[in-house]
Amino acid sequence: MSDFNLVPAMVVAFAVTTVFMFALRPLAKSVGLVDRPGGRKSHIGEVPINGGIAMFIGAFAGLTLVGGALYALPILFVACLLLVVTGVLDDHFTIPAAARLTIQIAAVLLMVYGAKLPLTDIGDPFGTGEISMGRFTLIFTMLVTLTMINAYNLIDGVDGLAGSLGLVALLAVATAAGPGHNAAAAALTVTAAIVGFLMFNFPTKWNRKVRSFMGDAGSTLLGFTIVWITLGISQGSESLISPVHCLWFASIPIYDTLTCFVRRILAGKSPFTPGRDHFHHTLKRGGFGVRDSLGILTGLQAAYAIVALIGHFAQVPDVVMFTGWSVLGLSQRFVIKTMAKHRRAALLRRRRMQTPV
């Protein structure tokens, strides 16, 4: 796909998302599709949850101009529509986890059998040669995709965070694919839709009156779309990058989810039990504000994506990249807690210095 065709696709994705962010606000409020403060939610006032729907419409408006640049676009549309509708219903009525999981599995089946995008190999993470999934292809594809879908959903607890992390991942995919490649065109088009949403979700003063959330509809849409496009450049005979390097593109959501799940299981709880043990909660308890937490986590993710791209272009072996990724994952919570600890100590020293003797 030429850059000449890509620009209109990105402009349309951004413009349509922006228009629907405005248009859907009154509708969301009228039907009660809003997020109310209380419990684990500390935002002020009722915030419309219209971002997921707007991004979905905007992204596919742009992708229709991309045309054949995305693998099996009609099937992607149907799969994403299932996730968005389910997310909207869950945001409004809170549907059972089993029902959500069933719909997510259906979306994965559409990707594997409809679009022919299975995860057939995982590269050479252990230095023993390329590992093929063989008869476990469907199970492993489902496990990875469901993890990614829910990782972006679970980390969506700070304004701008899920969107910014998705933005980094897609820009990394586009960079790895290279100019003019089909996957790059698709990734950049979806990126434009995310930017349209972030104008209403990024934590700044000027957008407070129109602040909106993406909800489960948006976060699951992000996770699934990222997996779909990434599989297109990391699988098959024409793959452009190792799956091991692609792990780095979504490190923060994956680390956050796996860390929370392990901690909850060790505590004798269900891994799906809601809690305040995510990275952004740890940073907040340390005294970091919303923008600080957003900057730290997005900055870390951007750094990890850059490391992956350098490793890819420098042809660093998979075993080295996977070892580095694993070490970071095991130490990520410690790093976050250390940052929070130093922040608390600094704030305490500042208060003591300001307290009159």
**Whole-number Å distance between alpha carbons of 332 and 285:** 17
Q: Which segments of the chain are extended strands (E)?
A: 34-35, 47-48
pTM of the entire structure? Answer: 0.94
Q: What is the pLDDT of residue 302?
A: 98
pLDDT at 267 over 80: yes
Who contacts 293 (Cβ-Cβ below 8 Å, separation ≥6)? 158, 161, 280, 283, 284
Question: What sign has the CA pseudo-torsion 159, 160, 165, 169?
Answer: positive
pLDDT tens track for 166-195: 999 999 999 999 988 889 999 999 999 999
Mean of pLDDT over the chain: 93
Who contacts 191 (Cβ-Cβ below 8 Å, separation ≥6)? 10, 167, 170, 171, 174
Task: Of 8-12, 267-271, 306-310, 341-345, give the lowest mean pLDDT range.
Answer: 267-271
Label residue 42 by pLDDT band (50, 70, 90). Answer: low
What is residue 212's three-state secondary structure?
coil
Label residue 70 by pLDDT band (50, 70, 90). Answer: low
Label residue 273 by pLDDT band (50, 70, 90). Answer: confident
pLDDT tens track for 312-329: 999 999 999 999 999 999
Q: Residue range 195-222: average pLDDT?
A: 96
**Whole-number Å distance between alpha carbons of 64 and 62:** 5
**Whole-number Å distance between alpha carbons of 49 and 301:** 25
CA 252, distance to chain mean position in Å, is 9
Q: Give the total number of structural domains in the chain.
A: 1
Who contacts 103 (Cβ-Cβ below 8 Å, separation ≥6)? 82, 83, 86
pLDDT at 4 over 80: no
pLDDT at 71 over 80: no
Label residue 41 by pLDDT band (50, 70, 90). Answer: low
Q: Residue range 122-131: average pLDDT?
A: 96
Question: What sign has the CA pseudo-torsion 306, 307, 309, 313?
Answer: positive
Label residue 90 by pLDDT band (50, 70, 90). Answer: very high
pLDDT at 14 over 70: yes
Label residue 37 by pLDDT band (50, 70, 90). Answer: confident
8 A C-beta contact, residue 337 and residue 282: yes
Output DSSP code: residue 130. P
Domain membership of residue 130 as a residue range: 3-354
State the pairing for strand pair 34-35/47-48: antiparallel
pLDDT at 45 over 80: no
Q: What is the pLDDT of residue 306?
A: 98
**Whole-number Å distance between alpha carbons of 45 and 36:** 6
Which of 325, 321, 50 has its CA nearest to residue 196? 50
Return the residue matching tokens 């991004």: 55
pLDDT at 38 over 90: no
**Whole-number Å distance between alpha carbons of 216 and 199:** 18
Q: What is the pLDDT of residue 338?
A: 97
Q: What is the pLDDT of residue 131?
A: 96
